[in-house]
Amino acid sequence: MQQTFINYVKKMQNYSEALSVIYWDMRTGAPRKGLEQRAEVVGTLSAELFALQTSDELGKILSELQNEKLDFVTQRLYEEVKKEYDESKKIPAEEFKAYTILKAKSEAAWEDAKGKSDFQIFLPYLKEVIDYQKRFVQYWGIKNGSAYNTLLDKYEPNMTTDMLDELFGELKATIVPLVKAIGDSKNKPDTSLLFKHFPKSGQHAASLELLKQLGYDFEAGRLDETVHPFMIGLNSGDIRITTKYDEKDFRSAVFGTIHECGHALYEQNIDASLNGLPLSTGASMGIHESQSLFYENIIGRNESFWKHHYAILQKHSPEQFGNVPVDAFLKAINFSEPSLIRIEADELTYPLHIMIRYEIECEIFNGDLQAEDLPRVWNEKYEEYLGIRPQNDAEGVLQDMHWSDGSFGYFPSYALGFMYAAQWKHAMDQDIPNFDELCERGELAPIKDWLTDKVHQYGALKKPNELISEGTGEALSAKYLADYLENKYSQLYNL
Amino acid sequence: MQQTFINYVKKMQNYSEALSVIYWDMRTGAPRKGLEQRAEVVGTLSAELFALQTSDELGKILSELQNEKLDFVTQRLYEEVKKEYDESKKIPAEEFKAYTILKAKSEAAWEDAKGKSDFQIFLPYLKEVIDYQKRFVQYWGIKNGSAYNTLLDKYEPNMTTDMLDELFGELKATIVPLVKAIGDSKNKPDTSLLFKHFPKSGQHAASLELLKQLGYDFEAGRLDETVHPFMIGLNSGDIRITTKYDEKDFRSAVFGTIHECGHALYEQNIDASLNGLPLSTGASMGIHESQSLFYENIIGRNESFWKHHYAILQKHSPEQFGNVPVDAFLKAINFSEPSLIRIEADELTYPLHIMIRYEIECEIFNGDLQAEDLPRVWNEKYEEYLGIRPQNDAEGVLQDMHWSDGSFGYFPSYALGFMYAAQWKHAMDQDIPNFDELCERGELAPIKDWLTDKVHQYGALKKPNELISEGTGEALSAKYLADYLENKYSQLYNL
């Protein structure tokens, strides 16, 4: 029965992989006129995958496995598949189908509303999506007394609002005064160099060089261009990334590429024995983000890294960087200032954007915040946390697409990822005391190997809390990120 | 039942399309390390597609449709699906499975054998493939008294050896003396300009410009690079082509691109109502090749075309072409000489390569030629037809992969395509008497529109013989290709 189970799971995974190839293709240059018919293909394969995921045959296999003694990997596989199976089966098929249709409409309405900066266009769909999610939570069951915990668990297993309240509280206590102090400081770096013209071909070449330096395996991946950068793991030997070239702001490509590279290194280094199984993926959204943010921030915004790698940018954009010393470059890329758009925020203010969203989501699912009140609440919270107020819905409540497709509970992963990343760094310092020296010499392999040892190799075999406890010797704490930010920004701004 | 049938067929077509996306991806840059697991995905989808193609459910639908009155499109769809269904069902499932495994091994053995120029490595597999094909012919049934007719019909419906013998006989009577006369002629064009360095980026840019000129729709396609150029129709809004850049011989990219563009224009201009159905493809291999060769040879090796478009090459490789007059360029690209490798042959000698293969295939399936005798027979025929003899198997009997995967009956399509192309041109001359004038002005749209009207729009709705008869007023004849070659080469070489 175990082999039957594994074959069945591999078949599902093969459908997933086919859908991923098609998804990647649609994002990276599939011709416009073929997309409508391609959607039919996606529909056919998705329907078959859903049928496999919810079949009576799978139900029978799972119930027979209950009584068998399983090895560790098969046991974890069983748990993951069972969890998804139960979640799917708990929702009445008709309701799930209606929700799928609603989501497509809601995403389109959100896009339209954002374009016109008019929340009212999106509101009726958002209300419905929230209603569905609230009902789904009832079907799935309330976790530890909080409806929002049920949603959180989908992205970050075992995470709860109690834990988040504490983590975010501690972080907020560090960040808010820092942001204030920087705002009051007379020390303003010159950021004009960021916005000079950097030709796309040069950015592309620089991205390739950086990826090579970071240890990205081009025999198990490729770099392409998309409007929104992403990493996609097709299988463990095919982990692709995309980036975006803005000729007036190289940061989008350079830091985007480094970020996606962090995600890719994770999936490229999962143990090969998990290939073809759904365990060959990240342990959670938060752990995944811990890898991308480790590379983007801990390495990629660090002085020692650029001491060595700045030459790559100077080579590919000599007019822009040729006469700028690396110190000035570092101050510019670490410039911090409250801003309205999450994805453009600097690393210091970024967690505040997440806390705002987290609080709002909690109030929707655990409290009685209504969808129609979101723009007002949103703007008030921006004023409270960041001291600035959106002038319209597009730069406010409509900026992110997450709510349009019902991804409530996802946002905290971004901040959790940063906290995990800082904690990995603290633990790494014990094993690799010469971290900065290695970065300065461009020898990044030992850093990647440490992360592979503690995180990558396990894929989804371990839970996030297991990984962080076993890898760092303690449960997740906000302390390390708070320390990292405190030290770094006090120094940068001479506070 | 008709709607059930159409939905069923569309589902099969969606699986095909998914497999095509994956195939294209594997050829155009999928990372090496992901290919093994991707093969599992292909296996899963292919197995499901095969199950759909041979299911009892489909059998029931088809038998119920027999008694229904169908509109023209559904009737044709029914015939195509029924034909494939019957062919698949006639072969015992176990035998088909064993053959599929053999084919994979045979292809690998052929590659190995070709690399080592050793026919003996390939021989045992080839024997087995031939045995299978002979048995399959028995299952499918002998057509008009000839086993080879059964194979021919798979690629060129309604074509027979009787017809081919006559067509090829007439063509041979023209070509052989022409080749002889050219060989004896003192008139040798200077071809050195062909082999000058033409950077890849310039060839790419020139290919894009030529495609645009020829009417290729980039909103329904894209151009990529592969080792072996091909056209692949994913759906009617997504018809992709690939080409190959040889910096020491631009002809591979330029004529390859024009050739694949001819295939692509066919599929981009099939009537939209057939989209998502298996009828949205070419009528046959021969008709498909008639479009690619119309573009590659009739247009692409024509004086009037280059009078206008030579500037594109001059722009992208000025050192190579800047001081070469178009007349010298035309003589060089139309240089004809007996050679050993089919895919590198010029248009005049090319049909002889096909006739050799056709005669050998006939002797295998209708006579008693044994696989072990193929190298000897091959070499004798090259000596007889082209006056040259391969020095080894790699440049002789092992050069093409077609026999390794059992594609017996395919080769004639290439020569048929050229004959169709010349006949289309003859008919086009009645409707577009100023063909050369249009080419000289770079106004190619009326030419494409004529082909769309006579050929493209119908997809596989009509049979090859219907298309050529209705489009040109008579059955396929070798006369027009013979005339085309006779006129062109007499003039080029002052015979």
Q: What is the rounded average pLDDT of the residues A475-495? A: 96
First to last CA, chain A: 64
> Tens digit of pLDDT for each residue in A270-280?
999 999 999 99
Q: What per-residue string of b and e applies to B333-343 under the rule 16 or more CB within 10 Å gives b?
A: bbbbebbbebe
Across the interface, which of B33, B44, B217 has its CB nearest the CB of A220? B33
Q: What is the rounded average pLDDT of the residues B425-431? A: 98
Scan for tokens 């999106």, then name that residue. A122
- Report chain B's mean pLDDT, rounded to a whole number: 96
Look up residue A374 and give its two tokens: 């979101």
DSSP state of B93: H
- Same domain (yes/no): A66, A167: no
Which of B49, B238, B277 to probe by mutation at the A interface, max A CB count within 10 Å? Answer: B238
- Same domain (yes/no): A325, A268: yes
Domain count, chain A: 2
Q: With respect to residue B104, please indicate whether it lies within any of the assigned structural domains.
A: no
Under an 8 A CB cutoff, do B237 and A15 touch? no
Which of B6, B11, B14, B240 to probe by mutation at the A interface, max A CB count within 10 Å? Answer: B14
Q: Answer yes or no: is A309 a known binding residue.
A: no
B32 contacts in A (CB within 8 Å)?
219-220, 237
Q: Strand pairing of B238-243 and B223-225?
A: parallel
Q: Is the pLDDT at B1 greater than 90, yes or no?
A: no
- Report chain A's mean pLDDT, rounded to a whole number: 96
Across the interface, which of B40, B218, B220 has its CB nearest the CB of A14? B40
> What band does A346 get if pLDDT is binned at 50, 70 and 90?
very high
Under an 8 A CB cutoff, do A31 and B276 touch? no
Domain interval for residue B416: 128-495
Look up residue A127 and give its two tokens: 């209300």
Q: How far apart are CA A9 and CA A17, in angstroms?
A: 12
Judge whether A52 is closer than 8 Å to chain B, CB to CB. no
- Same domain (yes/no): A12, A92: yes
- Same domain (yes/no): A196, A283: yes
Query: What size, in residues, is chain B?
Result: 495
Across the interface, which of B31, B218, B222 has its CB nearest the CB of A219? B31
Q: With respect to residue B96, please indicate whether it lies within any of the assigned structural domains.
A: no
> Tens digit of pLDDT for each residue in B168-197?
999 999 999 999 999 999 989 999 999 999
Under an 8 A CB cutoff, do A37 and B11 touch? no
List all residues of chain B from 182 to 241 with a beta carbon under 8 Å from chain A: 217-222, 234-238, 240
Across the interface, which of B34, B45, B220 has its CB nearest the CB of A34? B220
Which residues make Cβ contacts (< 8 Å) with residue B219, sequence separation at least 6?
A: A31, A32, A33
Domain end residue (candidates: B38, B60, B90): B90
Q: How far apart are CA A318 and CA B377, in angstroms?
A: 65
Q: What is the rounded average pLDDT of the residues B90-111? A: 92
Q: With respect to residue B115, please indicate whether it lies within any of the assigned structural domains.
A: no
Q: Is the pLDDT at B93 greater than 90, yes or no?
A: no
Q: Name the 3-class secondary structure at B398.
A: coil
State the pLDDT at residue A93.
Answer: 86
The chain B residue lying nearest A235, using CA atoms, is: B34
Domain end residue (candidates: A117, A144, A171): A144
State the pLDDT at residue A17.
Answer: 97
Q: Answer yes or no: is B228 a known binding residue.
A: no
Element of type H or E holding B239: strand B238-243
Q: Answer yes or no: is B263 a known binding residue.
A: yes
Q: What is the rounded average pLDDT of the residues B85-93? A: 92
> Tens digit of pLDDT for each residue in A91-133?
998 998 899 999 989 999 999 999 999 999 999 999 999 999 9
- Same domain (yes/no): A191, A139: no
- Same domain (yes/no): A304, A397: yes
- Same domain (yes/no): B262, B387: yes
DSSP state of B294: I
Domain end residue (candidates: A144, A167, A198): A144
Q: What is the rounded average pLDDT of the residues B128-138? A: 97
Under an 8 A CB cutoff, do B237 and A29 touch? no
Query: What CATH number is given to the structural domain containing A272?
Result: 1.10.1370.30
Helices (H), A117-199: 119-140, 147-155, 161-184
B37 contacts in A (CB within 8 Å)?
17, 235-238, 275-276
State the pLDDT at residue A1.
Answer: 85
In terms of Cα–Cα distance, which of A374, A472, A365, A449 is closest to A410?
A: A365
- Same domain (yes/no): B148, B78: no
Q: How far apart are CA A406 and CA A274, in angstroms?
A: 30
Q: With respect to residue B290, please indicate whether it lies within any of the assigned structural domains.
A: yes
- Same domain (yes/no): B201, B335: yes
Q: Is the pLDDT at A296 greater than 90, yes or no?
A: yes
The chain A residue lying nearest B12, using CA atoms, is: A44
Element of type H or E holding A232: strand A231-235
Which of A8, A12, A14, A27 to probe by mutation at the B interface, max B CB count within 10 Å? Answer: A14
Q: How far apart are CA A92 and CA A314, in angstroms?
A: 58
- Same domain (yes/no): B274, B139: yes
- Same domain (yes/no): A407, A261: yes
Element of type H or E holding B315: helix B303-316
CB atoms within 10 A of CB A173: 11
State the pLDDT at residue A373.
Answer: 98
- Same domain (yes/no): A140, A170: no
